[in-house]
Structure 1
Amino acid sequence: MGNLLELHEVTKVYSRGLINAKENVALRDFSLTLKDDEPTILTVAGESGSGKTTLAMLLLGFIEATKGQILYDGRDISTLEGKEKLAYRREVQAVFQDPFAVFNPFYTVDHLLTVPIRHFKLAKSRAEARDKMEEALTAVGLRPEDVLGRFPHQLSGGQRQRINVARALLLRPRILVADEPVSMVDASLRASILETLRNLQRDYGVSIIYITHDLTTAYHIAKSIIVLYRGAVMEAGDVDAVIKNPQHPYTRLLVDSIPWPNLDQRWGEHSIIAREANEDSDGCPFRGRCPSAMDICSTRPPLFEIGPHQTAACYLYEEKPKIVPDRVSELLPV
């Protein structure tokens, strides 16, 4: 089997202002490969402004890359037209952060689910459409009789978010882009939604790109992780190795910020240097805040292969073998 999704050194640059326009590199030289026959859950993590949502918008085809290629089943998604573009829209689905924004308060849950069925011609009759809705709701742990016919305000945030997952599942996607899907849901409901996503990957063969700033949920749901900072890959690899033994100074700060359920354990062992963010595109984007910054960091570091399933873009490991961005996926377990 071939590759389902390929990103080859994708860069997205935003410009602002008409006179003396300034450019902001939201994503830089990002590469990723998802195989057709190996559905997986991959986390893309980082703080606000790291490029996570830009990546999601690129994957969904809402914006175009400034440089690089995004291939789906071997075809550049920017060239898709007609039936091929419609198929891509159906097979690459999204679950967004806000479980309220998707719903129109004037329509019942049934409307949210029947629209994609009608648009993509997934059912030949109302009875078949009803069966598909009930099957999708049951798959995400909801009882159809509890939610169908009800308005959004009559449902909890957790129910609304699982309905969003059910809507995506209706279309039998091959890829699900989950952008902060539990950040606006009560803590008591996060586990059930994460379990729903894991079941989709296991039972329906859906590859999930889980985008989050929360390393705790990333650790529990994903097999591999890519850590972004200001649009650049800082570290990537097996989620267990990266979170338990982070190698890049930025990843260490992220892990150190996790509030552990141990009152005797210090929170924030590593100090964060509060200097202005580095605007120099030639150097490491993190060096302005890095406690290990060196003179050589004025040159952008390549990715170094630290272990069989771990890589970091940091000169602390310059004695290690360098790897090109397209090889990052080889180090990600599935």
Structure 2
Amino acid sequence: MLRIQDVTKQFRVGAFGGKSVTAVQNVSFEVAPGEVVSLIGESGSGKSTIGRLILGLSPATSGSITFDGLPVKSGKEYYRRIQGIFQDPFSSFNPVFKADRVFGMIKEAYFPAVPGPEWSERVEQSLRDVRLNPGQVLGKYPHQLSGGQLQRLLIARALLLDIKLLVADEITSMLDASTRIDVLNLLAELKSRGLGVLYITHDLSLGNYLAERTVVLRRGSVVEMGLTELVFGDPLHPYTRELLSAVPRLHEPWDDAATVDTCLYHERGASGGLLEAEPGHLVACAQLETC
């Protein structure tokens, strides 16, 4: 479905754009129908940049991004198949309009011929699909709703388009723990219906909970990827080990000074092709113990 091949993104910087910064470098991975792929890494690793490239909000400097074999192309028809939901749900709503205006905009752009009563039924059904009571959210202003309700409104908007891929960029980071689980369970339910999800997060525990496959980014490059149980159960790259060692564990002392194996390849920030260390598990350096 979605294929990212050797994608690099550079930004011009400086007073006259005479210099460039590489935010993403030679990144390749795929997302299949009905699959959740977790894209993890620390802040500044390039996760959100990749999300913007997939959504056509920014062009790639080199490489290719295709969906169902066709190049990414921003526009109405493309966004009918792919939608994005971002970290701050409040920024996706105009505070002077009621929250359900997002559904009116969808109707105007994609379903102008649908009669009003039929459209209202579709909207109410999409809200029930994301476990919202239409009577409690329709007609409310954004400030009258919680962050979790607003996120689910955005997911309901995407469902109205019958999308094939959802780019979920840190969508639970501003939610409390109970609401966070509700949203994650909702994504898992949508996955069972065939929706592909790229779940962008810096929270390893949530990525482990939801995704079949995991892609680990460091400084814009993929350092490890594969089946989630392999990446989390037997991390091969020192950076992945470092991320996992930094996750606090309940009922255990947290040793923030824990030592992690080092690797010259890792320390120098080198980039190159991924090597298959075992079936379904790729890493940026195949000889961690000897290099």
Report TM bin, short chain. Answer: over 0.9
Contact 1:256 1:269 in 2 (8 A): no
What is the root-mean-square deviation of aligned Cα atoms in Å? 2.2
Of 263, 282, 293, which aligns to 2:264?
A: 293
Deviation string, structure 1 residues 33-53 (Cα, Å, up to 9, x no partner): 334xx4200000011111101
Deviation string, structure 1 residues 40-71 (Cα, Å, up to 9, x no partner): 00000011111101101100001111011112
Q: TM-score, with normalisation over the residues of structure 1?
A: 0.81
Query: Which deviates the most, 137-146 or 66-75?
Result: 66-75
Identify the residue that residue 76 of structure 2 maps to in structure 1. Answer: 86
Identify the residue that residue 227 of structure 2 maps to in structure 1. Answer: 238
**Aligned counterparts, 1:197-212, within 5 A:** 197-203=187-193, 205-212=194-201
**Aligned counterparts, 1:128-277, within 5 A:** 128-203=118-193, 205-262=194-251, 264-268=252-256, 270-271=258-259
Length, aligned pairs only: 290
Say whether residues 1:63 and 2:63 are aligned partners.
Answer: no
Counterpart residue type for residue 8 of structure 1: Q
Deviation string, structure 1 residues 10-50 (Cα, Å, up to 9, x no partner): 11111102458222111111112334xx4200000011111
Say whether residues 1:16 and 2:13 are aligned partners.
Answer: yes
Contact 1:114 1:129 in 2 (8 A): no
Identify the residue that residue 302 of structure 1 maps to in structure 2. Answer: 273
Counterpart residue type for residue 144 of structure 1: P
Q: TM-score, with normalisation over the residues of structure 2?
A: 0.92
Deviation string, structure 1 residues 87-136 (Cα, Å, up to 9, x no partner): 21111101110011111122212212221122111661111111111111
**Structure 1: 5+ residue stretches without partners:** 273-289, 320-334
**Counterparts of 1:94 and 1:295 in 2: how far apart (Å)?**
32
Identify the residue that residue 107 of structure 1 maps to in structure 2. Answer: 97
Say whether residues 1:51 and 2:46 are aligned partners.
Answer: yes
Report the Cα offset of residue 318 of structure 1: 9.0
Contact 2:236 2:288 in 1 (8 A): no
Summarize the Cα distance change of 1:247–1:57 in structure 2 as closer, same or farther, 3 Å threshold. Answer: same
Identify the residue that residue 117 of structure 1 maps to in structure 2. Answer: 107
**Structure 2: 5+ residue stretches without partners:** none
**Counterparts of 2:144 and 2:248 in 1: how far apart (Å)?**
33
**Counterparts of 1:117 and 1:209 in 2: how far apart (Å)?**
26
Q: Secondary structure at the match of 1:316?
A: coil
Q: Secondary structure at the match of 2:89?
A: coil
**Counterparts of 2:266 and 2:199 in 1: how far apart (Å)?**
35
Identify the residue that residue 40 of structure 1 maps to in structure 2. Answer: 35
Answer 1 or 2: higher relative contact order, Cα 8 Å, separation at least 6: 2
